[in-house]
Structure 1
Amino acid sequence: MKAIKLFTCTFFLLLIGFNAFAQQKYVVSGKVVDELSQPLAYATVLLLQASDSVMAEFSVTNNKGVFQLKGIQFGKYLLQTSFLGYSTTSNAIEVGSNIDYGEIQLLKVDKDLKGVDIEAEVVPITIKEDTVEYNSAAFKTQPNANVEDLLKKLPGVTVEKDGSITTQGEQVQKVLVDGKEFFGNDPKIATKNLPADAVDKIQVFDEKSDFSEFTGVDDGERTKTINLLLKEGKKSGYFGNATAGYGVPDDVYEGKLTLNRFTRSTQLSVLGMANNINDQGFSFNDYVNFMGGFRSLMESGLGTFQNGRPSAGLSSSLNSGITDALAGGLNFNYDLSKNTDLRTSYFYNKIQNTLLSTTERQYFNNANNYNTNSSTRQSTDIDNHRFNYRFKHDFSKRSDIKVKGTLLYNEGSTTLIQDQKSIDETGATQNNNSSSNVGTGDSYDGDAELTYRQKFTKKGRSIVLRGSLAIANDDLQSSLNAINNYTTYTDSILQRQFYFKDQLELGARTSYVEPLGKGRYIEINYRYQQQQSDLNKDFFDVDPSDDSQVLNENLTNKYDNTYRYNSAGVNYRLDREKYNASIGLDGQISELDGNLISTGQMVNRTYRNLLPNFRLNYQFAGRKRLRFNYETAINAPSIEQLQPIVDNSNPLQVYEGNPNLDAE
């Protein structure tokens, strides 16, 4: 018996000791050099599990060729080192303490080798100048995984709960497929719907602006971009996947289908999805302002408008509650010739969201403490259609033309029912109110842009001409029925609200660049912009006895206005190997002409401003960089902000316009 107890105690002591030992973290360090023992900066060093080659940690050498792999647990690993243009090495190591591996020598690969078969090793990460490239073969995913699942495996890449992607400290704004747009500028459509097993490499880089790419003059603007390089077998032919699932007892479901037909000149993708598990598979950006209008009409009983258009807000609720999502779309990219290409996509999505919430709040006041209990039921139904297009033709290596634009249509409805009660310290009800809001509406937006670019014989000399057109229309209606009970009296509100706005915007811009010498340029630019708006905001009080409507003139507002500006400026740009900088000054004249139909007043304002700008991008050693931007712009007051009319549409935020407001 004593022997058994002794054995048991010894076993547990050994187990505890082993666990403590296994949980210790160690550091593996070393230096990567070439055949002449010169340090190789930015070489990739990976530590792979010896059993299955899954990556445990990675590092990039500094400008002295030194690397450190931190937080390594006890175990057997493969230390893999790679550098572009050099052979890859793999060395077995066993970690049980901190390890200084010393120098790792890489040999240059002979580019002229012929008739030699080389067995390629899987290099998980390669750094090519400003691009970080991940090899998908080094990151294992489950069958039927999508690109988002693959991105979650990549070191240095973070995928948030809402599907947004962050890498190198910045949010990814664009996802390309073999260098081409995929369903416009919504990264989530590509990452949530393309299968992971179709991807060969994932490239992460800062894409330069169209201006920089064409003129060769770096303006410092960057867009964090991911480019998905497809496997050779997927670049020609059909591929896709389909998944479906159903769960009880909550009757949850999910279905997804993607089908792709790719050739060297064509990309055709069709996708569809449906679920009720709050996985939209796309971004909310298209209709955030549209649905925000209903939210603003309903807040605080009577609703608010900001700058003539309903303020955004409802999109946040779509991430809560229970959401049924239905979506489908088609993406078509076609290279008509070596010099001409077409990019188009259509996407439809439907959201049905139900949100139930209960809130209890306690307020502390020296004179009076009280509690509030509230319950909310909100249902939202949104339909969204989006069409993107882009056509580009190269007349020659020196000139091209590009047309691009977007058409967007939204329609939807929302219902918001709220009940609230305030209770004092004694438990007595001080007041209670209930309200019901119903809103419906639709909106459409469209924009088009035409750009012509021309390089001249003299290197660095170029001109860019651009024209733009945009239209927008909002048509929203809302009804409010509210009852407020106080200790001494009761009041009620029965109201209908109508909001209609038309907007037309025209723009033109030209930019001329002249080289002044090696890496020095001067840019002269001119811009004209004009925006015309018509607004009708009608509020009617309703008589519940016969449902008759009486116009509430205090809350009703109608106007039309035109805002235009002319801007001319000059920028001096300096482009060097490690840095680029620019400094400039614009002069802008802005004019606002408005007709306040409700009051018969006219508004005329002119603003003259000088707008300086400065930009610096500096590249330090070790892939560290500094970006500094200083820009100035004019924010002219809106017609509503200039109207000397009291707006009490929101009793908690009553304001009156100031005709003496200046631009800021």
Structure 2
Amino acid sequence: MKCIFLFMLLTMGSLASIAQRASIKGYVTDTVSGLKLRDAVVLLANSKDSMLVQFCRTDANGYFKMDRNLVPGQYIICVSLPSYVDYVELKELSGNVNSIDISLFPKSKLLKAVVVKGKVKAISLNGDTLEFKADAYHVGANASVDELFRQLPGFQVDRGGKISVNGQAVQKILVDGEEFFSDDPTLVSKTVRADMVDKVQVFDKKSEQAAFAGVQDGKTAKAINLKLKEDKKKGYFGKLIIGGGDRYYNGSGMFNRFKGPAKFSVYAIASNTGEGDISWKDREDFGVAKDLEYNTPLQTLDSWAGQYAGLGFPQLYTAGAHYNNKWNAFNQAIGGEARVAKLNLSENMTSTTISILPTQKLTTSGNEKNYHILLQQKYNGNYQVRLDSMTELKAKIGAAVGNKTGDRNIASVIRNEAGLSINELSQYTNTDERSNSWMGELIVNKRFRKAGRLLTLGLSGAYNTLNGNGTFITNNLAWDRENTDTSINLDTRQYKETASKQDKINLDVLYRFPISQTSALSLKYAMALGNMKSQLTTFNIASDGKNKSIDSIYSNNYLFRSVGNKAGIHYHFVKKQFQLEAGNDIGLTSFNQTDYFRYNLIKRNFVGWFPNIELKYSGKNGTRTASLSYLGNTILPSALQLQPLANNTDPNNIIIGNPQLGPSYSNTIKLLYINADFIARKTTWIDIGYNLITGDFTTADQIDSIGRKKYQFINGDYTTLWTGNATYSFPLAKSLTMGVSAGWNLRSSMNIVNNAKNRIRNGNYVAGLFFSESLPEKLNITLNVNPSYNYNSSSVAENSGADYWMLDTRLQATVYFPLKSELHTSCSLLLRQKTDEFTDNTNVVLWDIWINKRLLKSEALILKLSATDVLNQAKSVFRYINTNYISEYRYDVIKRYFQVGLTWNFSNFNNSAKP
């Protein structure tokens, strides 16, 4: 298959057709030992269209011969044998016997300079999967996969190790198609070594049911699959890292043992620099038909998500283990993970928010200090068995236990346009929450003897609990400047207890059957049942700090029940390079909310429509793909939008329920075009989307004379969103690649501000210029220049003064010196234009530099001297535009520090030790 792929890359030459016949014969030998090689595959292809003409294998003496109906002319000859470098040559065959002796070079002896020669076959396109040949990109010895990603066109890896491809965040990294510490892509990219990887495959991972049945459900996640080299699938590898300086430290250990399909890994990390942070996002891979459920999250007293996002000062201690294996001719498989982490996080944030009202502007200045502690354990396991050639069963189970505590101090001042204070707030909160989660899923996939006929059944369930308590002390002083100009004291001192439970069950059924040789129908049915019990008891604390009384306004006891049914039919058509899918689902959902505290009941019923159509074309040579799709989606309001739980933890932002809130409807059109010209090393990527939401959920805001906002969710008229990204990369020279890109994100929406309709238009235009130079063992350098323009307009205040330019420039370089030493530098320049509202200088230059000295003959031991944020300018500034509110947030972050570190890479593959 490897040789056939190479043939698709070579399109030069022409075939001069004459009546004479030709033959070719010769020997295949080992370049190093001179031994004749048996069982080598020798293929002959037409140079004009790369079509296979003949193939054979060498005999015991390394001899081969092909002479059947060969027309003299130009051919591509390819020779392949495991553990040897592929041989490819363009050869002119004359009208007689042509002799050729071929020497293959062992991969184990291959010089690094030879590896880089494969640039012509660096990128391929297989359907919707973009594939990069790892050996075509040069990285240092023992480099991790994230260093390889930095060399691949379209890939971005930020300072924290977060990975994106063409602007889309990578959510999963697979190893040989299997999940591997699945909810943390950065951990995988830092664990696996680049020299182990044969191919890097990028694709949109569908849900399991959609992948099995070939039905689009709109649920995809950007994923990367690392396909390992065959000789790296048996043995062990790992690394130990220690580093420290005056204030900061890093320490980690990773051990991985692969034996064919069996993989076992353990790791441990201790760090206060943010390196190796573990993302604790709960990616609910358990369950189907989630679009039938209401968004009824468990009621929490602390909104912190439980992770470090590069803001503040973290202390992380985490460890985990992973195992998966297949046996019985791959008919059975098992996998599981166990992870534990403790994260301490200290944050300091200042903010400025401009509220644009029909008659004035209000400015809110705030400061927030937080200290969080999270201790969490997560476990999951899965089992898969193929009962026979037609039936497979998959089972998953997962559990998580967590404890989250936090201290928060908030101070804010709201001023009117005259600069006078109208609201001053100081608040202290202390919270302690404990959570437990259990999840399970069972899927049965059944194929039938008639080709194309299949049945899939899915049953899943989840049970979650959350219990917490917290103390809230608020001092709030306000002045009614518009009326009496008198002060108003709104102090509160409360203790809150919350207890929530949630359970849900999902059933999903799909049956697919062919109606012709090129088309098929799929019938779908899904049911979802959900219950959530939420109780919040609020006590007012007396001035003596001891006596407590229940606050009936901010206490509640709710039971949410939802029942959803969804059915649909889908049509599939495949002929040659064309694919068509079209279908529609209809959903019926009922919702009951019982308020036991006030003894009332709210009932709602909704009907939803979910049509979709997609047309796709794939080029014959796998170099081009194009698709056009439409997806309709009924979006149901959440239970908390219909009837929120009364809460005064933010006294200046109060939500009011809207039992009459109806569903909104989303129309999404997407166009995707990818063209990879392998010979010319050119890649074109165009991705355009348009989204129209009618009846979109927005808010009706009422800001009173003392700056308090009361808001209610309503159905607006419409929201539109245009998105686009276009990238074109091409070579400027043998080792120099250039890329240009353009992107846009344009949004139009509306809300109500103090009874006035407000139409908001905001957007972002970005351009890009990319250069990459790679000189093996000499220099690697990449340069990204990305100017952008951000704009915002509001009909209640035409001149908002929120438009600004930005320039984001990033330079990364590695210079290789004699004596196994390297100099690395990374420099980011971020320039942000001042605005009428935000006049401070937010420009920043982030410069990191480190020197590596590789020790030992194997270069497995690395001494590292590093300086992070050399210019001591690190800062995090974010601007957000949301309806008629423009905000800027500034966070304290880790600044300049120096470290000395040692890294030991160890491995043993195929019993060949590499200490």
* TM-score (normalised: structure 2): 0.55
Aligned mates of 1:617, 1:380 — CA distance in 2: 48
Residues 172 and 224 in structure 1, CA contact (< 8 A), matched pair in contact too: yes
Is 1:33 the counterpart of 2:12? The answer is yes
In structure 1, what residue type is equivalent to 2:103? Answer: D
Residues 384 and 393 in structure 2, CA contact (< 8 A), matched pair in contact too: yes
Aligned mates of 2:126, 2:51 — CA distance in 1: 10
Aligned mates of 1:247, 1:319 — CA distance in 2: 20
1:406 deviates by: 2.5
1:549 deviates by: 1.4
Aligned mates of 1:218, 1:428 — CA distance in 2: 56
Q: Which residue of 2 aligns with 1:555?
A: 554
Q: Cα RMSD (Å) of the superposition? A: 3.9
**CA shift digits 1:497-551 (9 cap, x unpaired):** 2222101101111111110002211111211110011110222211130422111
User: Kindly tell me: are residues 662 and 201 of structure 1, through their superposed partners in 2, closer, same or farther at Cα, counting changes over 3 Å?
Assistant: closer
Q: Which residue of 1 aligns with 2:397?
A: 405
User: Kindly tell me: are residues 203 and 492 of structure 1, through their superposed partners in 2, closer, same or farther at Cα, counting changes over 3 Å?
Assistant: same
- Structure 2 counterpart SS, 1:117: strand
Query: Which of the residues 117, 139, 143 maps onto 2:103?
Result: 117
1:404 deviates by: 1.6
Name which of structure 1's ranges 489-498 and 400-409 shifts more when overlaid on structure 2: 489-498
**CA shift digits 1:213-264 (9 cap, x unpaired):** 545678887554322233445322221111110012xx11101111111111
1:557 deviates by: 1.2
Q: Which residue of 1 aligns with 2:299?
A: 309
Residues 308 and 314 in structure 2, CA contact (< 8 A), matched pair in contact too: no
Is 1:654 the counterpart of 2:662? The answer is no
Residues 388 and 407 in structure 1, CA contact (< 8 A), matched pair in contact too: yes
Name which of structure 1's ranges 652-661 and 588-597 shifts more when overlaid on structure 2: 652-661
Is 1:242 the counterpart of 2:211? The answer is no
In structure 2, what residue type is equivalent to 1:386? Answer: K
Query: Which of the residues 337, 353, 358 maps onto 1:345?
Result: 337
Aligned mates of 1:584, 1:174 — CA distance in 2: 28
Q: Which residue of 2 aligns with 1:27?
A: none
- Structure 1 counterpart SS, 2:449: coil
User: Kindly tell me: are residues 620 and 223 of structure 1, through their superposed partners in 2, closer, same or farther at Cα, counting changes over 3 Å?
Assistant: farther
In structure 2, what residue type is equivalent to 1:171? Answer: A
Residues 637 and 661 in structure 1, CA contact (< 8 A), matched pair in contact too: no
Q: Which residue of 1 aligns with 2:574?
A: 575
**CA shift digits 1:608-648 (9 cap, x unpaired):** 445433333344685242241313235155277248x9766
Is 1:332 the counterpart of 2:323? The answer is yes
Residues 495 and 538 in structure 2, CA contact (< 8 A), matched pair in contact too: yes
Aligned mates of 2:600, 2:277 — CA distance in 1: 48
Residues 406 and 448 in structure 1, CA contact (< 8 A), matched pair in contact too: yes
1:440 deviates by: 1.1
- Structure 2 counterpart SS, 1:395: strand
Residues 642 and 660 in structure 1, CA contact (< 8 A), matched pair in contact too: no
Aligned mates of 2:183, 2:523 — CA distance in 1: 30
User: Kindly tell me: are residues 241 and 84 of structure 1, through their superposed partners in 2, closer, same or farther at Cα, counting changes over 3 Å?
Assistant: farther
5+ residue gaps, structure 1, are 1-29, 39-64, 67-82, 87-104, 289-304
Name which of structure 1's ranges 471-480 and 120-129 shifts more when overlaid on structure 2: 120-129
User: Kindly tell me: are residues 281 and 354 of structure 1, through their superposed partners in 2, closer, same or farther at Cα, counting changes over 3 Å?
Assistant: closer
User: Kindly tell me: are residues 468 and 661 of structure 1, through their superposed partners in 2, closer, same or farther at Cα, counting changes over 3 Å?
Assistant: same
In structure 2, what residue type is equivalent to 1:286? Answer: D
Residues 215 and 455 in structure 1, CA contact (< 8 A), matched pair in contact too: no
In structure 2, what residue type is equivalent to 1:190? Answer: V
Residues 216 and 460 in structure 1, CA contact (< 8 A), matched pair in contact too: no
Aligned mates of 1:242, 1:85 — CA distance in 2: 48
Q: Which residue of 2 aligns with 1:482?
A: 474
Residues 609 and 632 in structure 2, CA contact (< 8 A), matched pair in contact too: no
Residues 642 and 660 in structure 2, CA contact (< 8 A), matched pair in contact too: no
- Structure 2 counterpart SS, 1:140: coil
Residues 469 and 505 in structure 1, CA contact (< 8 A), matched pair in contact too: yes
Q: Which residue of 2 aligns with 1:592?
A: 591
Is 1:533 the counterpart of 2:532? The answer is yes
- Structure 2 counterpart SS, 1:286: coil
Residues 508 and 526 in structure 2, CA contact (< 8 A), matched pair in contact too: yes
1:274 deviates by: 1.1
User: Kindly tell me: are residues 222 and 482 of structure 1, through their superposed partners in 2, closer, same or farther at Cα, counting changes over 3 Å?
Assistant: closer
In structure 2, what residue type is equivalent to 1:601? Answer: N
User: Kindly tell me: are residues 157 and 85 of structure 1, through their superposed partners in 2, closer, same or farther at Cα, counting changes over 3 Å?
Assistant: farther
In structure 1, what residue type is equivalent to 2:588? Answer: I
Aligned mates of 1:219, 1:483 — CA distance in 2: 50
Aligned mates of 1:164, 1:336 — CA distance in 2: 34
Q: Which residue of 1 aligns with 2:137?
A: 139
1:143 deviates by: 5.0
Aligned mates of 1:229, 1:194 — CA distance in 2: 11
In structure 2, what residue type is equivalent to 1:33? Answer: M
Q: Which residue of 1 aligns with 2:249?
A: 253
Aligned mates of 1:182, 1:139 — CA distance in 2: 24
**CA shift digits 1:301-349 (9 cap, x unpaired):** xxxx986634956568742111111111001012242210101111222
Q: Which residue of 2 aligns with 1:468?
A: 460
Query: Which of the residues 297, 310, 317 maps onto 1:319?
Result: 310
User: Kindly tell me: are residues 312 and 108 of structure 1, through their superposed partners in 2, closer, same or farther at Cα, counting changes over 3 Å?
Assistant: farther
In structure 2, what residue type is equivalent to 1:342? Answer: I
In structure 2, what residue type is equivalent to 1:596? Answer: D
More helix by share: 1
* TM-score (normalised: structure 1): 0.74
User: Kindly tell me: are residues 220 and 415 of structure 1, through their superposed partners in 2, closer, same or farther at Cα, counting changes over 3 Å?
Assistant: closer
Alignment of 1:171-190 (within 5 A): 171-190=169-188
Aligned mates of 2:141, 2:79 — CA distance in 1: 38
User: Kindly tell me: are residues 229 and 416 of structure 1, through their superposed partners in 2, closer, same or farther at Cα, counting changes over 3 Å?
Assistant: same
Aligned mates of 1:637, 1:505 — CA distance in 2: 16
Aligned mates of 2:524, 2:259 — CA distance in 1: 41
In structure 2, what residue type is equivalent to 1:272? Answer: A
Aligned mates of 1:271, 1:379 — CA distance in 2: 27
1:598 deviates by: 1.1
Aligned mates of 1:370, 1:661 — CA distance in 2: 29
Aligned mates of 1:501, 1:563 — CA distance in 2: 16
Is 1:269 the counterpart of 2:265? The answer is yes
User: Kindly tell me: are residues 584 and 434 of structure 1, through their superposed partners in 2, closer, same or farther at Cα, counting changes over 3 Å?
Assistant: same
Q: Which residue of 2 aligns with 1:514?
A: 513
Residues 408 and 444 in structure 1, CA contact (< 8 A), matched pair in contact too: yes
1:152 deviates by: 1.0
User: Kindly tell me: are residues 213 and 425 of structure 1, through their superposed partners in 2, closer, same or farther at Cα, counting changes over 3 Å?
Assistant: closer
User: Kindly tell me: are residues 236 and 663 of structure 1, through their superposed partners in 2, closer, same or farther at Cα, counting changes over 3 Å?
Assistant: same
**CA shift digits 1:154-194 (9 cap, x unpaired):** 22322234433223554333212223220134322201233
Aligned mates of 1:587, 1:366 — CA distance in 2: 42
1:418 deviates by: 2.5
Name which of structure 1's ranges 324-333 and 410-419 shifts more when overlaid on structure 2: 410-419
In structure 2, what residue type is equivalent to 1:267? Answer: K
User: Kindly tell me: are residues 32 and 417 of structure 1, through their superposed partners in 2, closer, same or farther at Cα, counting changes over 3 Å?
Assistant: same
1:200 deviates by: 3.9
1:585 deviates by: 2.8
1:429 deviates by: 7.0
1:134 deviates by: 3.3
Aligned mates of 2:448, 2:159 — CA distance in 1: 49
Aligned mates of 2:338, 2:499 — CA distance in 1: 27
- Structure 2 counterpart SS, 1:192: helix
Alignment of 1:425-464 (within 5 A): 432-464=424-456
Query: Which of the residues 406, 410, 422 maps onto 1:418?
Result: 410
Residues 279 and 307 in structure 2, CA contact (< 8 A), matched pair in contact too: no
Aligned mates of 2:447, 2:474 — CA distance in 1: 65
Aligned mates of 1:360, 1:559 — CA distance in 2: 36
Residues 636 and 662 in structure 2, CA contact (< 8 A), matched pair in contact too: no
- Structure 1 counterpart SS, 2:189: helix
1:366 deviates by: 12
Aligned residue-pair number: 557
**CA shift digits 1:549-590 (9 cap, x unpaired):** 111111111111321122222222222333322222333332
In structure 2, what residue type is equivalent to 1:614? Answer: I
